[in-house]
Structure 1
Amino acid sequence: MHITRISRTALTALCVCGIVLGLAAFGFAEEAQHAAGGHEGGHGAAQMKDFIWRCVDFGALVLIAVWAIKKADLKGTLAARSAGIKRTLEEAVAAKEAAEKKFQEYNGRLEAANQEIEQISANMKREGELEKERIVAEANAAAARIVAQAEVAAEQEVLKAKNELRAEAAKLAVELAEQKIVKNIAKGDQDKLVGEYISKVVTLH
């Protein structure tokens, strides 16, 4: 856009210069014709030569002015472009730093999340092991209680069986004794002896 503006400025300056030169040439030509009619031709040629040199000087000044304007605008354009490039680089560096900072932030969050997951997994594993140990301990305790109850029940059954056997044995002994006594002693003595024997047996049990 700056280059287009420079070209337009130079073109305008050249057009103005051409118009000025054309008007000046037209004026000097009329003056030369009047001079040729009333004076000598040498004087008109000198004026034309002077006019040409003035035009050359004026054109050189115009070219120098256009070159200076173009150079000044070019420096401004280069400075503006350099500033734009610098600003773009600074923005790129800032964006890179922001992206790196954001990456570090997300990376830190990810590491924290991984550590938390590992901690949760370790806690669940430890709790599972503790629960397993608790279940095994409860099962062992229940088995021990069942065994103890079975032993007590067995002992009670054995004791009951022993008592029943003793009672049965005592009963048989009494019956045998009665039968033996009946055979060997009289009726009165038999009743007395049976009663004494039964009393002794009852006392022993």
Structure 2
Amino acid sequence: MFTSSLVLGAAAHTGINYGDIVFQLLMFIVLMVLLKKFAWGPLMGIMKQREEHVANEITAAENSRKEAAKLVEEQRNMLKEARTDAQNLIESAKKQGDLQREEIIATARGEAERLKESAKLEIEQQKEKAVAAIREQVASLSVLIASKVIEKELSAQDQDKLINEYIQEAGEER
């Protein structure tokens, strides 16, 4: 019984509902009025401002182009003058450069001699330090070998073996 009343109720709503249509039409008109008042006016104002801005930019660009053409011509004239001045400076610099080159070469030769003598002196000092270090190691190895020899009687072969072992140990300690 419940299902049959649903079917009958659904059949009754198949006609056109004019109340909903009128309500939706009124809401659409209200929406259009609100859009015109709050969105369309400001949007058109923004578009007008943008149009004026673009027109001003075009005018400014044209003025800038004219000014740039004038500046290019001035730059060309200044470039010609600069080239002439540069040639004069180059010739003067060449003459002065030759004088300075000779002076620098003489100074460099003196400095090279001084560095050479300093290097010789440093090499001699390092050589003396190395010899002293080797003497200390040989002395300590000799004492070490002597103490081992005293501890036990060695044959010639055992002595050679012992010396080689201690030399290896000394090398590993470094």
- TM > 0.5: no
The higher radius of gyration belongs to: 1
TM-score w.r.t. length of structure 2: 0.34
Provide TM-score, normalisation by structure 1: 0.30
Report which structure shows greater RCO (CA 8 Å, sep ≥6): 1
